[in-house]
Structure 1
């Protein structure tokens, strides 16, 4: 076989991989995870508490199933990376650009199932800590791999990470869970991104959490879905929380953190809330919203985390504790 023929065959294999990513192969495999239905619904205390040994055994079996699913998804991510690294000059950019968002979308059932099983408030009372940590490690591994995949595609100018651009892939969803009456949807930014797209605030967002408060009927539907993504509406507005970093001069940073490096500035991490300034959230004039190109908001710092960037799983742990503590005081 000549070199040209060999390259043509490899290009064909790469195109087949791209097509498979967006078709039924991934979805059919993920259905195996959904059909297992090993974890009881969040909030089902009877199911969790009646037989600890049986429940622990069931979750352990679920862990093994999710490890297999993770290996499958990681393999698909490797295939996609090989396509852009080895065959960029032979494949259409549009096919490559479309393949990654489609693949990330097919990973959502995995993220939702792992995060819900590990973070269910009832499960945390019954699961051994090591099992809880193993579950979240699966989510973290896939999260890191997808981030690396997107950044690689961006380095080849196939994808854009600037959220001001219409086709940007600046962030992606890494799971949705229910905590009582709260629905928590988590997004990861592939790199620190300006807090406000068109204004330099000196604050950079790394993660975003959309927090919806559910009514009684929506809560019942969420329970039935066992932590899956809900199509139900919400009561009131969505609240937005962020993991952000700020570059602060040492003189100011010394007063707020003892963990500083020997440089002119230090990067400090925190979790805070989006507090809308423009348009006025209390306005009843619809034209205020229509005429506003980009909403603006201040950053209300709620929790300082120091100079070390937390993993996405640890950051969500911190926010979950913050939200649950707020519930107990309401």
Structure 2
């Protein structure tokens, strides 16, 4: 567990000077692909559910209607069994979160509280394999492949959302005791955590949840606050990877810096509600006149210029700047983390289809 804490601290500390303010998103994403030694309990049932969800119906062929019906019943029975195991695993993770919460609230010694705070990032890390398998099983539902039954899909999303909410509350509680920092401008902050990774075709999606609305740009007030982030990597096929390797060997490429990764956000902003009938304050605007609106947009970097080849531009830029390109307007109600991911995937997959 100590190794896990060191890795998380290292990643967090080094994440202060990259494309998204103080975050090194590429290193964060790697956290979601690994799993600690103690997080392997229940992996078999998680993998089973993901495999069943991603498998073609009836093993990829249909001999007769009775065979198809028997195969469907078998798959559903496996799903139900896996769901029961997932629910037990969720209860285990939730109980661990409760233990960390209760120990903090009941602990009178500040030094002991600091030791507990150091365990929170490690606990978030151990939850990632659980999130990853849920993502692999559920996101197939909106893709072009074999969908999950709707009731199974909704139950899986509910498991993920329950854990998201509980971890968020845990981090906020520790932050309220000044034991964790949510400010992105500070080193070793814990403003957000990973809630899963999945791959659909050539799209590899890594999802992060901010514990509270966080300024879109760390040192510039844009009026936008981010609530979620998606790292979307467009995986190259074998031919593209071979060409990239050839270019690097001949000095024409810059290696990992040229990875086809895009960054999307769920953001909110307070806008003037022209329909509001509120009494104006001394400045002419009442709080009742403001309405919080939600949208999904893409990070579009403007400084330093992403196409520049001058390394000095990157070295001298303390905090990169970017605009927010809105893709979807979601209205005044904050979507759940699961539904927001569905909205983005629908948008991305529709573009892949048209392309």
Q: Are the counterparts in 1 of residues 58 and 72 from structure 2 also a CA contact under 8 Å?
A: no
What is the deviation of 1:96? 2.0
The aligned residue for residue 297 of structure 2 is: 272
The aligned residue for residue 187 of structure 2 is: 166
The aligned residue for residue 325 of structure 2 is: 300
Counterparts of residues 40-189 of structure 1 (less than 5 Å): 40=51, 44-45=55-56, 49-50=60-61, 51-89=71-109, 91-121=111-141, 125-189=146-210
Q: Is the alpha carbon distance of 1:49 and 1:143 closer, same or farther for their aligned partners in structure 2, counting shifts above 3 Å?
A: farther
Q: Are the counterparts in 2 of residues 159 and 168 from structure 1 also a CA contact under 8 Å?
A: yes
In structure 2, stretches of 5+ residues that fail to align are: 6-34, 62-70, 241-255, 277-285
SS at match of 2:288: coil
The aligned residue for residue 257 of structure 1 is: none
Q: Does 1:31 align with 2:40?
A: yes
What is the deviation of 1:218? 11
What is the deviation of 1:53? 2.5
Q: Does 1:236 align with 2:259?
A: yes
What is the deviation of 1:141? 0.2
The aligned residue for residue 283 of structure 1 is: 308
What is the deviation of 1:46? 6.1
Displaced runs of 4 or more, over 6 A: none
Per-residue deviation, residues 54-82 of structure 1 (Å, max 9, x unmatched): 22222222111110100000000000001
SS at match of 2:51: coil
Distance 1:277 1:199 in 2: 14
Distance 2:312 2:200 in 1: 35
Q: Are the counterparts in 2 of residues 66 and 114 from structure 1 also a CA contact under 8 Å?
A: no
Distance 2:312 2:275 in 1: 41
The aligned residue for residue 222 of structure 1 is: none
Q: Is the alpha carbon distance of 1:321 and 1:206 closer, same or farther for their aligned partners in structure 2, counting shifts above 3 Å?
A: same
TM-score, normalised via structure 1 length: 0.80
SS at match of 2:333: coil
Distance 1:189 1:128 in 2: 30
Distance 2:239 2:98 in 1: 39
Per-residue deviation, residues 160-186 of structure 1 (Å, max 9, x unmatched): 110111011000000000111010000
RMSD between superposed Cα atoms in Å = 3.0
What is the deviation of 1:235? 6.8
Distance 1:286 1:27 in 2: 36
Distance 1:105 1:306 in 2: 32
What is the deviation of 1:138? 0.3
Aligned residues: 291
Q: Is the alpha carbon distance of 1:123 and 1:109 closer, same or farther for their aligned partners in structure 2, counting shifts above 3 Å?
A: farther
Distance 1:234 1:120 in 2: 29
Q: Is the alpha carbon distance of 1:180 and 1:196 closer, same or farther for their aligned partners in structure 2, counting shifts above 3 Å?
A: same
SS at match of 2:40: helix
Q: Are the counterparts in 2 of residues 77 and 145 from structure 1 also a CA contact under 8 Å?
A: yes
